[in-house]
Amino acid sequence: MELEKYDPLEETPLVQQKPLQKKVLLWLSGIAFTFFIALLGLGLSKISGFNRIGPLACSIIIAVIYRQIAGYPEKFRPGIEFSAKKLLRFAIILYGLKLNIDVIFNQGLPLLVRDIGTVTFAIVVMVLIAKWLKADASISLLLAVGTGICGAAAIAAISPIVKAKEEDTAIGVGIIALMGTLFSIVYTLLRPILPLSALDYGIWSGISLHEIAHVALAGAPAGEDALAIALLAKLGRVFLLIPLCFIFMYWMKKRTSGKMGNDAKIDFPWFLVGFIIMSLIGSYVFGTYLTVSPLVMDGISKATTFILTMAMIGLGLNVSLQALRTKAMRPLLAMTITSLLLSIISYFIV
């Protein structure tokens, strides 16, 4: 009777399954890690004082502190990078629902002209001041776009196009959240003593402050009408993110071609197509062909913010305090000067 031969190759699939399962588990653990830190950031943002800077900045602060104390959690890197890259793009796509193109074209064209001036001024002046101060070019460019368009969301959208480092993106988001909050608080303090009507104050807030949340914070004390016109002015700037992305794509193509030859390629930001599609759905489908309750829209808005917060964890973990000291101070100064000039000039053109 012939003995059965043992063939080790027969067990190869089973042996391969375990490493695969382990990789999937670590990947999910990395995503869960960013989810947990995002929850902590959300909780921190509910505390008095921290509620002024919002969950994104709070989560980045926690992530940066974690990095300095415990180091980067290498075993969770795949899942963390998934949050920092894939979830970031998904959040930008969902962010498109906040942009009502129909309202901008029907009611906000005069404001859109001012918005174009705001965006152009912010980017050009910020870049020139940063060059004069010899500030970090990558961070300064991201802050220029964030100041001109819509804060963290604009930085997140432009970052992959200009191939910015994740560390630079995180630093930019943190700075824009901090400065935007400070400016919006100053606006509310100045409102009672400024010789501006409620509507003019709303326009001023909408065309000069950094993020939608900052505009809402500054505009709300002036009343519902002022807040509505402020948000309309701000949405015009959000709308300009679309053409600006294509401008930067063209600029990067020319810049890269000059260094690497005519065959240089720039990856197309397909998430921007999703952003446009969601904007069209929010503008022309919801409310016209499909009724969506305000409660559902509010839920989508909160989910978008939370997903974007998870993405910020991955970016924040790449920040070192040494980088903050050496790279962030001059871009911060350049942005402060630019924001002050933008506030003063936009005040006189309202």
Pairwise CA distance, residues 214 & 24, whole Å: 39
pLDDT above 60 (res 204): yes
Q: What mean pLDDT is predicted for residues 75-79?
A: 90
**What confidence score (pLDDT) does residue 105 get?**
77
- Among 14-18, 31-35, 216-220, 241-245, which is the least confidently predicted range? 14-18
**What confidence score (pLDDT) does residue 132 get?**
96
Pairwise CA distance, residues 140 & 147, whole Å: 10
pLDDT above 90 (res 142): yes
Pairwise CA distance, residues 178 & 182, whole Å: 6
pLDDT above 50 (res 6): no
pLDDT above 70 (res 164): yes
Pairwise CA distance, residues 315 & 52, whole Å: 21
pLDDT above 60 (res 181): yes
Confidence of residue 134 (pLDDT cuts 50, 70, 90): very high
**What confidence score (pLDDT) does residue 14 get?**
47
Q: What mean pLDDT is predicted for residues 29-33?
A: 93
Mean pLDDT of the chain: 83
**What confidence score (pLDDT) does residue 18 get?**
65
Distances (CA, A) of 62 to 72, 74, 244, 319: 13, 17, 32, 11
**What confidence score (pLDDT) does residue 208 get?**
93
Q: Where are the alpha helices (DSSP H) in the chain?
A: 12-44, 54-70, 77-82, 88-95, 101-107, 109-133, 137-148, 152-158, 166-190, 198-208, 212-219, 224-239, 241-260, 270-280, 294-316, 321-323, 329-349
- Among 56-65, 153-162, 318-327, which is the least confidently predicted range? 318-327
**What confidence score (pLDDT) does residue 112 get?**
87
pLDDT above 80 (res 116): yes
Q: What mean pLDDT is predicted for residues 151-162?
A: 88
Q: What mean pLDDT is predicted for residues 126-149?
A: 94
- Among 34-48, 191-205, 316-330, which is the least confidently predicted range? 316-330
**What confidence score (pLDDT) does residue 267 get?**
61
Q: What mean pLDDT is predicted for residues 148-173?
A: 88
**What confidence score (pLDDT) does residue 122 get?**
94
Distances (CA, A) of 192 to 106, 178, 221, 261: 31, 23, 10, 57
Q: What mean pLDDT is predicted for residues 59-69?
A: 85
> Where is pLDDT greater, at 119 or 91?
119
